[in-house]
Chain A
Amino acid sequence: MQTLINYTLYLADNALILAQRNAEWCGHGPILEQDIALTNISLDLLGQSRSFYQYAAQLINAEHPSAMPATEDSLAYLRDVFAFRNILMNELPNGDWGQTVLRQFFFSAYQFPLFERMKHSSDATLAAIAEKSLKEVTYHLRWSSEWVIRLGDGTEESHSRMEKALDELWTYTGEIFEPAPYEKAAVEAGFGVDATSLKDAWMERVSNILQEATLTVPAPRWMQTGGKEGKHSEHLGFVLAEMQFLQRAYPNATW
């Protein structure tokens, strides 16, 4: 049970933290239509995280009955940095539009094969969330792929910015395929997806899109890890400080 809880929280945290980062673009996008597009993606990710948090809360309450039961809100707003399991890439500051788009592309290119597999999970709830989310991720992947190509194969300025973003983000992509202990346990228990098995599909799609974007796949290098086990960069604290402020300052406040 604890494995299922940890694994579900990992999926939830990834979606929530990227949703929060993308939402920072609200009102700041380069043009109105793309501002709306990115905030729509943010909303989809937020919705996915809610489904996962609701499920995790249900599991936690079944396992540890408490006078203060866990809820989707307590999981999002009342846990501290070390309890979050999201990959480091998702907590990084947005950088420019190109870097934000490239990160979304890397993440969607991971979520797409992940949910394709998880649709068949032995856990019916995870399978249902994956089936639902996959339809949304298809749009995210197409939108972000197009923008990576448009900017990479764009002007001299946009190309050099994409090169810089690629160099910045690449170090954080390895963590996706480096399974945490709860991911390994989830695979053994039969409901999780083996992260290492997604790497080839991810790399093939990323290589194709980067090539079309006239960008070069970086050479293998040392990769940052730790987020999946709660060892985060200094950036996550700032994300949480903003996201959790209201519930921390005014506990149980509602609209």
Chain B
Amino acid sequence: MSSVTDISTRQVWDLLEEVTDPEVPVLSILDLGIVRDVKVENTTVNVVITPTYSGCPAMDVISMSIRMQLLSHGFKEVNITQVLSPAWTTDWMTEAGKEKLRAYGIAPPNPTQQVCKMELFVDDEAVQCPHCNSWNTRRISEFGSTACKSLFQCNDCYEPFDYFKCH
């Protein structure tokens, strides 16, 4: 039996699905895996989010968007809390989100077991070109257009592309 609170909690999650990442607008914040908890009490909502990177400038915009979205759908008070632990990981990105990234031309993150090793000068991950699907690609730079991405180039179709790097 579902209570009123269950229904409105589900309603909040549905509304949050419509809030997108300002830097990768094809991804919802749920695809990104940064919404950690939602609690509803009458007309008050508490939303817990976690940043992708400490300095991600999108977080402030995302908080604002969450607030606007919920206020405009009848909630009277919206509290947004940021938590840092457990730290966000690309494992929390949904499979649907990864597909959306690929279709958008950004290579989605690989499973994280390969990440963040300290060995130097190694391409520690094989990354698939989102344009022609070739695995014959190389990393141009560890850091791309935003903190969450690195820059790759395809050796087959020569297109450069962003890779949403493992974290």
Q: How far is the CB of B57 from chain A (nearest CB, A)?
A: 7
User: In the complex, which of the residues B54, B57, B88, B147 contacts A51, with contact meaning CB atoms closer than 8 Å?
Assistant: B54
Binary contact track A46-82/B, C-beta < 8 Å → 1, others 0: 1110110000000000000000000000000000000
CB of B116 within 8 A of CB of A135, answer: yes
CB pair A138–B55 under 8 Å, yes or no, is no
Whether the pair A128, B85 counts as a contact (CB closer than 8 A) is yes
B26-59, CB under 8 A of A: which get 1 and which 0? 0000000000000000000000000101111100
B: interface residue count bin? 20 to 34
CB distance from B56 to the nearest CB of A (A): 7
6 tightest A-B contacts by CB? A47-B55, A47-B54, A128-B85, A33-B141, A43-B55, A37-B143
Q: Are B143 and A41 in contact (CB under 8 A)?
A: yes
Tell me whether chain B's interface is mostly helix, strand or loop, or mixed.
loop
Interface size on A, residues (CB 8 A): 31
Complex: chain A residue closest to B116, CB-CB = A138
Q: Which residue of B lies closest to A32 (CB)?
A: B141
Q: By the criterion CB–CB under 8 Å, are B142 and A142 in contact? A: yes
Question: With A50-B55, A138-B116 in contact, do A143 and B84 touch (Cβ < 8 Å)?
Answer: no
Judged by a CB distance under 8 angstroms, whether B167 is at the interface is: yes
CB pair B143–A36 under 8 Å, yes or no, is yes
Contact B57 A43 (CB under 8 A): yes
A92 lies within 8 A of chain B by Cβ: no
